[in-house]
Copies of this chain bind each other. A is one copy, B any other.
């Protein structure tokens, strides 16, 4: 398998973490797409993903899968039991719900702040910016951090007692928050403890 990515960027990190958690990291060849220089908007890459976003997983038969949640579906069902996305209807639904809430309310919100209300990747890449939208999304991201902190009062991981794709999505959100210089409020102690817990997993080192 191949993964088209830009190493160190938040969404590629989601796939690296999923690969590492599933023991599939060494089965993949990584192909770098130079996002800061706009390679993701060139015809060659748009033919791979019309959305112009990394990462993309390419299977050995040539099938190209974009969207991180879809890539994780593949990886989680490609080897062993599904451990990241759940094994029955209720588990699957609760994990998908949490993944989506963290994606839209935190990761995507932080990304919108970064791309719209800061210099982002610079004027050549940020060809449309809407600062008011970006600021609004920052408020949403901070609110979601508080909500995640409350969830983590009674459980070790975002979707319950086990590490799942929801935790991966949130970790990528924190990567993006780093780029965007959004600090995690110090009173969110459950969330900060969760970050340390996830960062201590072997997958974090493998993916780095």
| Known contacts A50-B147, A89-B78, A92-B74; A67 and B136 CB within 8 A of each other | no
| Known contacts A51-B105, A130-B133, A136-B128; A89 and B70 CB within 8 A of each other | no
Number of interface residues of A (CB under 8 A): 34
> Which residues of B sit under 8 angstroms from A96, Cβ to Cβ?
67, 69-70, 73
Interface presence of A71 (CB below 8 A): yes
Interface presence of A132 (CB below 8 A): yes
Q: How far is the CA of A59 from the CA of B92 in the complex (A)?
A: 14
Interface presence of A88 (CB below 8 A): yes
Nearest opposing residue in chain B for A112, CB measure: B133
| B100 & A74 in contact (Cβ 8 Å cutoff) | no
Considering residues A73, A94, A130, which has the most beta carbons from chain B within 10 angstroms of its beta carbon?
A73
- Chain A interface mostly: helix
When each residue 48-64 of chain A gets 1 if its CB lies under 8 Å from chain B and 0 otherwise, what string results? 00110000010100010
When each residue 83-122 of chain A gets 1 if its CB lies under 8 Å from chain B and 0 otherwise, what string results? 0000011101110110011000100000000000000000
Q: How far is the CA of A93 from the CA of B73 in the complex (A)?
A: 5
Given contact pairs A51-B101, A75-B89, A130-B130, enumerate 16 new A-B contacts (beta carbons under 8 Å).
Answer: A50-B147, A66-B101, A67-B97, A67-B101, A70-B94, A70-B96, A70-B100, A71-B93, A73-B89, A73-B92, A73-B93, A74-B90, A77-B89, A77-B92, A128-B136, A130-B132
Across chains A and B, which 3 residue pairs bring their CB atoms closest together, nearest first?
A77-B89, A74-B93, A70-B97
24 residue pairs A–B, Cβ–Cβ below 8 Å: A57-B93, A63-B90, A63-B94, A65-B93, A65-B94, A67-B96, A67-B100, A67-B101, A69-B96, A70-B92, A70-B93, A70-B94, A70-B97, A70-B100, A71-B93, A74-B90, A76-B89, A77-B89, A77-B92, A128-B136, A130-B132, A130-B133, A130-B136, A132-B133
